[in-house]
Amino acid sequence: MKYLCQVWFEPATLEAMTDEEKGSLDRASLAYDDDLIASGHMVTAHALQSPKNAVTVRVRNDEMSVTDGPFAETKEQLGGFILIDAKDLNDAIRVAAGIPLAKLGSIEVRPIYDIRVHN
């Protein structure tokens, strides 16, 4: 079986870190990814950009609405993860609106954050 380990944290924690602390955290994260690859546990892993860069897509009565940020209702639970390749945010929103569960819940669209570690 596969499991999505969705990492939740308080953004203020990262914002309070120095660049050196962030670099250390990034290196540790990438080293752990290497450990998971070596052990055969890794399927894929990506860090997400800030929730400030997210949009939430809903489709109700065949009408699409897009809200800035991850504003899923608290009663909703994560039911899946789809990694897509899109030419831009508008293309990603269009793809998200086509996901069947957008009619029942919400789809958070967030760009992937590319970690670049400089030694």
Q: Which residue has the higher pLDDT, 14 or 66?
A: 66
Does 94 map to a domain?
Answer: yes
Give me the DSSP letters along 2-46: ---------HHHHHTS-HHHHHHHHHHHHHHHHHHHHHT--S---
Percentage of the chain surpassing pLDDT 90? 11
Examine the pLDDT at 119 and tell me if it is beyond 90: no
Does 53 map to a domain?
Answer: yes
Q: Which residue has the higher pLDDT, 8 or 4?
A: 8
- Host domain of residue 53: 49-113
Structure letter (DSSP) for residue 53: G
Single pTM value for the model: 0.62
Examine the pLDDT at 74 and tell me if it is beyond 60: no
Number of domains, the chain: 1
- pLDDT given for residue 40 in this prediction: 84
Does 10 map to a domain?
Answer: no
Q: How far apart are CA 35 and CA 96, in angstroms?
A: 33
Does 108 map to a domain?
Answer: yes
Does 56 map to a domain?
Answer: yes
Examine the pLDDT at 9 and tell me if it is beyond 80: no
